[in-house]
A and B are shown apart, each in its own frame.
Chain A
Amino acid sequence: MHRLVLALDTSSAAVTAAVVELTDDGCRTAAQRQHVDPRGHAEHLAPAIAECLNQIGAEPGDLTTVVAGTGPGPYTGLRVGLVTAAVIADVLDIPAYGVCSLDGIAGVHPDVRRLLVAGDARRKEIYWARYETGRRVAGPHVDRPGGVILEDVDAMAGAGARLYADRLELRLLDGDYPDPRALVLAARDRILNAEPTQPLTPLYLRRPDAAVPTGPKAVLQ
């Protein structure tokens, strides 16, 4: 069966939209748009989806599935992709599946035996996960680069890995941002088995910054 999957990821500085064709024995990116603009997620995403559909002469109603990267990632942008995916899936009445965005980077390197994938978490931290031949074995977590155990890791990938390459000191592979085809492959079994969907919940990994006020005195300050 031929499936037309809308793949979205806004967990990083890149705003990614793609239409991916998934069949029982293949997976191919039919159209893809990626804008690297850390503050432009809301502006770029919807037009990027429209351009992808246009490019292959498809209508939104032709989509059969939505796959969205659920992070971890800086929250404001991450929510843009997730609410977009959730609303499109709801109004078209098609399933939406969430995928850890770091899986979308690791999936490009399925043959690396022990891989570290790291995204930029800002505040001098990285979002990271470890993979063994394409399978996630640890994470996602958020830590300072120095807090990540690097023994037994062969290589690294991701924008966070590039940013702290001098500190992590591992062989850096291509692919700074999630790849839409890899995201779809990470959800492949769920899509082909038509598994029930779950709400698209962001992997925030951090609590909101907010302090409970201590007393009424603060009014005069």
Chain B
Amino acid sequence: MSSDAPLVLGIETSCDETGVGIVRGTELLADALATSVEEHARFGGVVPEVASRAHLEAMVPTICRALGSAGAAPRDVDAVAVTAGPGLAGALLVGVAAAKAYALALGKPLYGVNHLSAHVAVDLLEHGPLDEPCVALLVSGGHSSLLFVPRIGGEELTELGATVDDAAGEAYDKVARLLGMPFPGGPPIDRAARDGDPRAIEFPRAMREDGYAFSFAGLKTAVARWVEGRQRAGEPVPVADVAASFQEAVVDVLTHKAVKAAREHGVEHLVIGGGVAANSRLRALAEQRCARAGLRLRVPRPRLCTDNGAMVAALGAQLVANGATPSPLEIPADSALPITEVLL
């Protein structure tokens, strides 16, 4: 996209990351992030009030850092985009209020956008425009969804399926805790699994051949039962094998359904986003299965897969370029914003 495309500032506060990104077209200029993850670690999960307090403290400094690394002044920003939902209600409010204040003070348009759609749009910063339908798999601690996306960064998408219980990342966190690993559970399980045998234990693959919905609660319970059985028998728990076998069960179902959805919808590209997309085994297996199915795989670098402000700015930049109507200053933060509502 040309260098005179509008400069868009994106704000993300749906969970525990305070993210501010700056994008021009599909070019990433700044990606500033403050995280409160360490404050949540001892609670074994994100504590909403702790996250909201951290967002308030981090907001202005993070905006300043983003502007600084983009070499921009506040007035240079042409539009402000913000995650309006879904997410933690109190956390979302901080970002939405900050974005409104920014837009109001400088007389710039505001775009309240859907967090999930932003996870797909961020791929534009890595791989450039994709003006054709694709299937997107979004996996994180808060969501697991399979989407049909007519155009990345567009205003329309369809949800093919979602988790009926736990999100994939949530299952990782719970299994990590069971194995005595720190929160968040994705990275330590991924590491431990490298030394384990993914076929050592046959964990269930719920709903594998069953439409596009996911279910991970049963898997989590199966792992807990298996580990506790070992402990009760006084036998050591083979942590690497448990981690590898659990991880294999998760990524097998995710990639199987994603590839099936792409083929059944006749698309050429599969896009994977969300924090769990940083998982090395998910990437490897998706690569393998896409190659076999003749699909092209697009996965942004891990830094862009986890929550950040750049993804919000990336989606905002597309909406601006498409002439979308800006959001009124009255928009709420909607913790349960439906995935199909890309722009408020």
Contact = CB atoms under 8 A, between A and B. Distances in A.
Q: State the main secondary structure of chain A at its contact with B.
A: helix
Residues of A in contact with B, size category: 35 or more
Interface string B88-131: 01100110111011101111000000000000000000000000
B63 A211 contact: no
Nearest to A96: B60
A199 B61 CA distance: 11
B224 interface: yes
Given A42-B93, A42-B332, A210-B49, A60 B56 contact: no
A90 B221 contact: no
B220 A219 contact: yes
Interface in A49-100: 49-50, 59-60, 75-76, 79-88, 90-92
A45 B97 contact: yes
A80 B97 CA distance: 6
A88 B44 contact: no
A174 B126 CA distance: 59
B97 A213 contact: no
Interface string B25-63: 000000000000000001110010110110111011001
Given A41-B93, A86-B60, A87-B63, 6 more contacts: A79-B52, A79-B94, A86-B101, A92-B105, A219-B175, A220-B224
B90 A79 contact: yes
Interface residues of B, number: 47
19 contacts: A42-B93, A43-B330, A43-B331, A43-B332, A44-B330, A47-B328, A76-B90, A79-B55, A82-B56, A83-B56, A87-B97, A87-B105, A91-B106, A209-B49, A212-B43, A218-B177, A219-B174, A219-B175, A220-B225
B115 to A, nearest CB: 16
Interface string A186-221: 000000000000010010100011111100101110
A161 to B, nearest CB: 27
A148 interface: no
User: Interface residues of B: mostly helix, strand, loop or mixed?
Assistant: helix
A43 B333 CA distance: 8
B180 interface: yes
A93 to B, nearest CB: 8
Contacts of B47: 208, 210
Nearest to B228: A220
Contacts of B329: 46-47, 50
